[in-house]
Amino acid sequence: MKSTVQKKAFSKDILHLENIEEVCENIMKKLRTDVAQKLQRRGGVVGISGGIDSSVVLALTSKALGPEKVLGVMLPERDSSDESRLFAEKLAAKFGVKTLVEDITGALDGFDCYGRRDEAIGNVIPDFDPKRDKSKIEIKQNIGQNIPAIFSITVIKPDGEVISKLLPAKEYLQIVAASNFKQRSRMSMLYYHAERLHYAVIGTPNKHEVEQGFFVKYGDGGADVMPIGHLFKTQVYQIARYMGVPEEIISRTPTTDTYTAEQTQEDFFYQLPFEVMDLIWYGWENGYPAEEVAPVMDKTAEEIENIYKSFDRKKKTTEYLRMKPIF
Amino acid sequence: MITEVATKQKVKDYILKETLADVDHISDDTLIFETGLLDSMGLLFLIEFLKEEFGITVEDHELVVENFQSIENIVAFIDKKL
């Protein structure tokens, strides 16, 4: 029998959560079941960065399990912004959650994370001075170019001079592999606290991070449950407002807080503003033709087709990150 | 001087070796990204191969689909740069 369910016409409101109270209740109910019954743990540990995703996860977890059963752990390192810690503290106070600060700089020094990263940057930009200069990696191509994204390294000198070069394969891989020590060290510390308390680690990735592979395997991708792993970024913002996450956190531009130079998630990875990416991703995932999506997004059908292709590529090339060990 | 035929063979051999693809499945106009033969790391390694094999450095503005989408396009790009 043919389905008679009609797809909604594509519009800018298509991702708006009409029944937000019910959506949050369902997430919290599932979280209680997952933690207490499936995982058989007494509470949850959340790594909090002062960013929107971890803030929403902390808010949902504290309401779901009760604040006394939640521990918020701040995990700064040498390159983290001080602002991040202030926001994280304010958030934890608002939801009555106990917090700890674990500075992971020493662990990262032990891995020679900074030295290995800076060595690779210096191979590409010999003038790079890690003590004075700031650095970041970014994608400079336009997402509509229909060619896989290639990263560049950008170094910013103290006088404001900007030097940017395409990253060769060896150096790109070394920078990423070294930087990933950060997320993996955080994961180790979160599991230390989770195990000593018999808690679960509550992960913070959203739908884009999970599906586009914007996470580190066994780093921030290492968690027991991911309560917002199915939510678009604009929906995470909607829940943040509903749950009463502090406005300073909501109005911050999402950054990676991983490299020394200011780096937005859009520059680093997504190549599109969230409100645009969410809608086009929804269109791609649900089979809306480019011709229907294009006028709503104020783009040409060809541009939408190229963005669809880039989503397809990202999902395929990051499949490895989502795979369980093969045996 | 390296001939276009020799360049094409080198590029094709490289792609076959990298992707472990069946030689019958790759022609000069196969779209190497659209068909999933190469992804972004594949493109990065291809750029490295062009540098090692032909001494070509790819600039930011040259990273466009017209230069890399098929063996034919890559050979034309190499030809233009040499």
In terms of domains, do A103 and A236 share one? yes
| In-domain check, residue A156 | yes
Are the C-beta atoms of A71 and A43 separated by less than 8 Å?
A: yes
Provide, as residue numbers in chain B, all residues whose Cβ is less than 8 Å from the Cβ of A174. Answer: none
Buried-state track A278-292, b at ≥16 Cβ within 10 A, e below 16: bbbbbbbeeebebee
Domain span holding position B10: 4-81
CATH of the domain at B29: 1.10.1200.10
pLDDT value of position B23 = 77
pLDDT value of position B82 = 86
Domain boundary among A121, A153, A173: A173
Are the C-beta atoms of A45 and A73 separated by less than 8 Å?
A: yes
> What does the pLDDT look like over B8-46, one tens digit per residue?
999 999 999 988 877 778 889 998 888 888 888 899 999
Contact yes or no for B63 and A172 at CB 8 A: no
Residues linked to residue B56 through DSSP beta bridges, in sequence order: none
pLDDT value of position A254 = 72
Q: Which residue numbers in chain A have pLDDT < 70?
A: 1-5, 141-145, 256-257, 262-270
Provide, as residue numbers in chain A, all residues whose Cβ is less than 8 Å from the Cβ of B33. Answer: 146-148, 313
Residue of A nearest to B60 (CA): A166
Are the C-beta atoms of A43 and A73 separated by less than 8 Å?
A: no
CA distances from A66 to A55, A244, B35, B72 (A): 15, 16, 50, 62
- Please count the residue pairs, one from chain A and one from chain B, whose beta carbons lie less than 8 angstroms apart: 54
Spell out the residues 6+ positions from residue A199 whose beta carbon is closer than 8 angstroms to its own: A41, A42, A43, A44, A45, A69, A71, A193
| In-domain check, residue A212 | yes
Domain span holding position A300: 272-322
pLDDT value of position A233 = 94
pLDDT value of position A265 = 64
pLDDT value of position A314 = 84
Residue of A145, A168, A316 with shortest CB distance to B48:
A168
In terms of domains, do A160 and A303 share one? no
pLDDT value of position A143 = 61
If one counts the domains in chain A, the total is: 3
pLDDT value of position A266 = 65
In terms of domains, do A154 and A298 share one? no
Instruction: Look at residues B14, B48, B58 and name the one whose alpha carbon lies nearest to residue A172.
Output: B48
CA distances from A29 to A38, A47, A205, A234 (A): 13, 21, 19, 22
Contact yes or no for B60 and A140 at CB 8 A: yes
| In-domain check, residue A4 | no
Return d(Cα A156, Cα A165) in angstroms, integer: 12
| In-domain check, residue A293 | yes
Return d(Cα B60, Cα B26) in angstroms, integer: 27
Contact yes or no for A313 and B64 at CB 8 A: no
| % helix, strand, coil for chain B, step of 5 | 65, 0, 35
Q: CA quadruple A130, A131, A133, A138: dihedral positive or negative?
A: positive
In terms of domains, do A186 and A258 share one? yes
Determine if residue A203 is labeled as part of a ligand binding site: no
pLDDT at B1 over 60: no
If one counts the domains in chain B, the total is: 1
Determine if residue A255 is labeled as part of a ligand binding site: yes
Return d(Cα A94, Cα A259) in angstroms, integer: 29
pLDDT value of position B4 = 78
> What does the pLDDT look like over A129-169, one tens digit per residue?
999 999 988 887 666 667 888 888 999 999 999 999 989 99
In terms of domains, do A105 and A183 share one? yes
pLDDT value of position A59 = 97
Residue of A nearest to B43 (CA): A148
In terms of domains, do A153 and A208 share one? no
For tokens 């996860």, what's the residue? A57
In terms of domains, do A233 and A140 share one? no
| In-domain check, residue A15 | no
Q: What is the DSSP letter of A256?
A: -
